[in-house]
Amino acid sequence: MTEEMILNSVRENEKKIKRALLDRDMTQVELSKLLSVNPQVLNRAIHGDMSPRSIEIRQQVKKVLAI
């Protein structure tokens, strides 16, 4: 994958998550409490951080929001 493709993928995932939050009238802070993670850690994961913990959090987010 080229860098541009990776960035586009990250942006699309971020948009999907934010849309799902809006559809459920949920904030990132509420989601972070639901997942028992720090809001800043959740924000990093949503914005495409590639650490193993962020990847795990994104998987949890997608499961909770049914994305």
Instruction: Give per-residue pLDDT as tens, 42-55.
Output: 999 999 999 999 99
Number of domains making up the chain: 1
Domain with 43, as residue range(s), is: 3-65
* Residues 6+ positions from 14 with CB-CB distance below 8 Å: 46, 47, 48
Q: Does the pLDDT of residue 35 top 70, yes or no?
A: yes
Query: What pTM, to 2 d.p., does this model score?
Result: 0.84
% the chain with pLDDT above 90: 84
In this prediction, residue 1 has a pLDDT band, given cuts at 50, 70 and 90, of: low
DSSP letters of 30-66?
HHHHHHT--HHHHHHHHTT--SHHHHHHHHHHHHHHT
% the chain with pLDDT above 70: 99
CA distances 41 to 4, 15, 21, 32, 47, Å, are 24, 18, 17, 8, 10
